[in-house]
């Protein structure tokens, strides 16, 4: 009932319109029963007895019934229009709320929740939560109608009223039993819907891995097993409905039969007239369908509660990162970035497990207009530092500052305008090249797009595409090579003219010569026409890339082990020298085995390929 109460509070006017239509319909149903009784008792019976029809009374009865029918139609229209509008508005509103909440919650929360489950929360769970709204106004109007019917029965005859008092509570009791038995079945079915959605999403998203590893049959079996569980859960729901629905349908009919039996006895005693007996019998007949509306609401409540619990889990989730009200000067030139005694731990997948610290006592700075390279073995925390720099996550302790201001004090717009991250795994939308670069950001015209593409060494292959900037690149950019996707996402960041550019191994798939050209261009300008260079923090592996940096930060196990120029670290830090040499040797072997194919357009292979992020 909490869900229904919330729906009424959020849409009171629309609910009032829908209930008014339902009440009007109910009152007209009661009125039509007594009009039909009067027609039978005052027109039909006398006509049969006398052999003549009173035309005036017959015309009056016809006009009255027609008027009642028109009002019933108006009531039905208002009820259905209001109920449908209310249901769809609530579903749309909560889809937006769930999606907005997803964007507010930190990455750590998303890491603990499967993508398929999140899709189910925003889609089927929201739909299920508000599914009872459609029959709710009808059910409320039916309650008013039942009260009116019982009053009418007592006014007509106490014996017939007792029959009604026996039938209506029985209907409610049956619906309560039905709801209690249905609740666990609906909850299980809703949970399995999310699990099936999760497995399907995982299989599709990892289609490349599934195919290359020859796991099609196993993935199909995994999906089939869970889909089979969902089928059995839904069959269980249908089986219970199959038992209770006939009973709910039969009770009003049994009530009508009881009215006729008792009514015939009371008619013989002279306690009621033929018109009253016909009215009561007709009333029970027409009440059968509206009473089912109460059953519909009660039947859908278990599913609604299950869906609402899953939606509320998202809406009530904690951990969002509130922004401050500080604003950076957008024309302030290259930004400075400062890490001061930063500690960070990733939250465990299960709440009772301890977190894993990946950064400790990290202190360094990226001076304005300078390039700093982060170098370290896998798991050293390089990608985590990149995420902290643009505030995808917050440190457990210590501060991350841009231009001397703690990023937690900045507004979201100010931070997004000052800093841009180009991640390890390039994400490209299923849209045009232009749309992927501009992202509908104001003030970015085609000249800015081409300037960003030139700086990212991407203007050549974009100009060669069939429709240039208007070329659609496919889902996740599957019509482009890996290097082309990386340069496209780099151009996206540059188009916003950031004052701080964070590159998380963002050019790993491009030719080393192209990478060197990109980084050399970035050192001189963050975007043509900007008039100033950007500060650059780059996660680097290649010797040529590292050598371009003004300073190198060498990390091991989440801590800064050494810092200085590439030449000095190479000569004084054995671990650094071994790592860079190993990277260089691996790069040579990889180049010999597979030359870079940045300029080639590769055929679509899969909807997407997830790569483990180096923390």
pLDDT top residue among 195 and 229: 229
pLDDT digits (tens, 9 = 90+) for 30-85: 888 778 877 777 777 777 767 676 777 778 878 888 898 899 899 989 988 998 89
So what's the pLDDT on residue 537? Answer: 92
pLDDT digits (tens, 9 = 90+) for 129-161: 888 888 888 888 878 877 877 787 788 888 877
Average pLDDT, whole number, for the chain? 80
Residue 529 pLDDT greater than 70, yes or no = no
Residue 532 pLDDT greater than 50, yes or no = no
Residue 476 in tokens: 């996740």
Record the pTM. Answer: 0.64
CA angle at 36 for the pair 158 and 268, rounded to the nearest 5°: 45
Residue in 423, 418, 409 with CA at minimum distance from that of residue 336: 418
Average pLDDT over residues 526-537: 59
So what's the pLDDT on residue 603? Answer: 38
pLDDT top residue among 220 and 382: 382
Strands 500-504 and 535-539: parallel
pLDDT above 70 as % of the chain = 87
Residue 288 in tokens: 């059968």
Q: Is 602 helix (H, G, I), strand (E, B) or coil?
A: coil
Confidence label for 171 from pLDDT (cuts 50, 70 and 90):
confident
User: 502 with 421: CB under 8 angstroms?
Assistant: yes
User: 203 with 223: CB under 8 angstroms?
Assistant: yes
So what's the pLDDT on residue 349? Answer: 56
pLDDT top residue among 338 and 474: 338
pLDDT top residue among 82 and 319: 82
Q: Is 347 helix (H, G, I), strand (E, B) or coil?
A: coil
User: 404 with 336: CB under 8 angstroms?
Assistant: yes
So what's the pLDDT on residue 607? Answer: 35
So what's the pLDDT on residue 613? Answer: 35
So what's the pLDDT on residue 219? Answer: 80
Average pLDDT over residues 540-556: 86
- With tokens 């079996």, the residue in question is 221
pLDDT top residue among 421 and 544: 421
Confidence label for 602 from pLDDT (cuts 50, 70 and 90):
very low
- The CA distance from 285 to 175, in Å, is 19
Residue 401 pLDDT greater than 90, yes or no = yes
So what's the pLDDT on residue 53? Answer: 67
Average pLDDT over residues 419-445: 86
Residue 593 pLDDT greater than 70, yes or no = no
Q: Is 537 helix (H, G, I), strand (E, B) or coil?
A: strand
So what's the pLDDT on residue 388? Answer: 92
So what's the pLDDT on residue 527? Answer: 39
How many Cβ atoms from other residues are within 10 Å of residue 465's Cβ? 18
- On the 0-12 / 13-18 / 19+ scale of CB atoms within 10 A, 148 is middle
So what's the pLDDT on residue 295? Answer: 67
Confidence label for 610 from pLDDT (cuts 50, 70 and 90):
very low
So what's the pLDDT on residue 170? Answer: 79
Residue 580 pLDDT greater than 70, yes or no = yes
Residue 242 in tokens: 């199959």
User: 509 with 481: CB under 8 angstroms?
Assistant: yes
Confidence label for 612 from pLDDT (cuts 50, 70 and 90):
very low
Paired with 436 in beta bridges are none
Average pLDDT over residues 106-121: 75
User: 280 with 163: CB under 8 angstroms?
Assistant: no
So what's the pLDDT on residue 609? Answer: 33
So what's the pLDDT on residue 597? Answer: 47
């Amino acid at each position: 009932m909490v869900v229904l109460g919330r729906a009424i509070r959020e849409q009171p006017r629309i609910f009032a319109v829908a209930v008014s239509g339902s009440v009007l319909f109910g009152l007209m149903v009661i009125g039509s029963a007594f009009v039909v009784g009067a027609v039978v008792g005052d027109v039909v019976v006398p006509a049969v007895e006398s052999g003549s029809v009173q035309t005036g009374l017959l015309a009056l009865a016809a006009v009255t019934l027609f008027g009642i029918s028109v009002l019933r139609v108006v009531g039905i229209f208002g009820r259905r229009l209001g109920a449908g509008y209310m249901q769809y508005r609530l579903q749309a509103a909560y889809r937006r709320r769930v999606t907005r909440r997803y964007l507010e919650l930190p990455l750590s929360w998303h890491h603990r929740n499967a993508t398929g489950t999140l899709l189910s929360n925003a889609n089927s769970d929201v739909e299920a939560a508000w599914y009872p709204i459609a029959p709710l106004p009808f059910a409320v109007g039916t309650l008013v109608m039942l009260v009116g019917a019982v009053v009418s029965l007592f006014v007509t005859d106490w014996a017939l009223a007792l029959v009604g008092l026996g039938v209506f509570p029985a209907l409610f009791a049956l619906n309560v039993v039905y709801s209690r038995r249905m609740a666990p079945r609906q909850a299980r079915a809703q949970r399995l819907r999310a699990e099936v959605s999760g497995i399907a999403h995982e299989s599709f998203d990892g289609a490349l891995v599934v195919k290359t590893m020859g796991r099609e049959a196993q993935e199909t079996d995994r999906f089939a097993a869970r889909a089979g569980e969902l089928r059995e859960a839904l069959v269980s729901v249908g089986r219970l409905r199959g038992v209770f629905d006939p009973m709910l349908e039969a009770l009003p009919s049994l009530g009508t039969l009881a009215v006729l039996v008792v009514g015939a006895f009371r008619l013989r005693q002279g306690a009621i007239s033929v018109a009253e007996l016909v009215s009561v019998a007709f009333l029970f007949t027409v009440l059968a369908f509206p009473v089912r509306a109460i059953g519909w609401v009660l039947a859908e409540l278990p599913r609604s509660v299950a869906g609402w619990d899953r939606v509320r889990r998202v809406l009530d989730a904690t951990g969002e990162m509130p922004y401050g009200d500080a604003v950076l000067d957008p024309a302030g030139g290259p930004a400075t970035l400062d890490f001061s005694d930063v500690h960070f731990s990733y939250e465990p997948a299960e709440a009772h497990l301890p977190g894993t610290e990946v950064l400790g006592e990290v202190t360094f700075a990226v001076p304005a207009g300078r390039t700093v390279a982060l170098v370290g073995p896998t798991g050293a925390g390089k990608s985590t530092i990149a995420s902290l720099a643009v505030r995808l996550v917050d440190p457990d302790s210590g501060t991350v500052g841009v231009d001397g201001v703690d990023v937690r004090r900045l507004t979201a717009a100010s931070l997004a305008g000052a800093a841009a991250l180009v991640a390890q795994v390039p994400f490209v939308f299923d849209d045009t090249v232009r749309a992927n670069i501009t992202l509908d950001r104001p003030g970015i015209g085609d000249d800015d797009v081409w300037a960003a593409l030139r700086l990212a060494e991407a203007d050549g292959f974009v100009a060669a595409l069939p429709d240039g900037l208007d070329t659609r690149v496919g889902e996740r950019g599957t019509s482009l090579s890996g290097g082309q996707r990386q340069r496209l996402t780099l151009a996206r960041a540059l188009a916003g003219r950031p004052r701080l550019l964070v590159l998380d191994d963002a050019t790993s798939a491009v030719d080393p010569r192209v990478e060197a050209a990109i980084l050399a261009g970035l050192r001189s300008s963050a975007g043509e026409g900007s008039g100033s260079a950007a500060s650059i923090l780059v996660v680097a592996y290649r010797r040529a890339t590292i050598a371009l940096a003004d300073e190198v930060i060498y990390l091991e196990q989440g801590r800064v082990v050494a810092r200085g120029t590439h030449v000095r670290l190479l000569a004084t830090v054995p671990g650094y020298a071994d790592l860079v040499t190993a990277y260089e040797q691996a790069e040579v072997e990889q180049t010999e085995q597979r030359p870079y194919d940045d300029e080639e357009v590769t055929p679509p292979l899969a909807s997407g390929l997830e790569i483990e992020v180096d923390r």
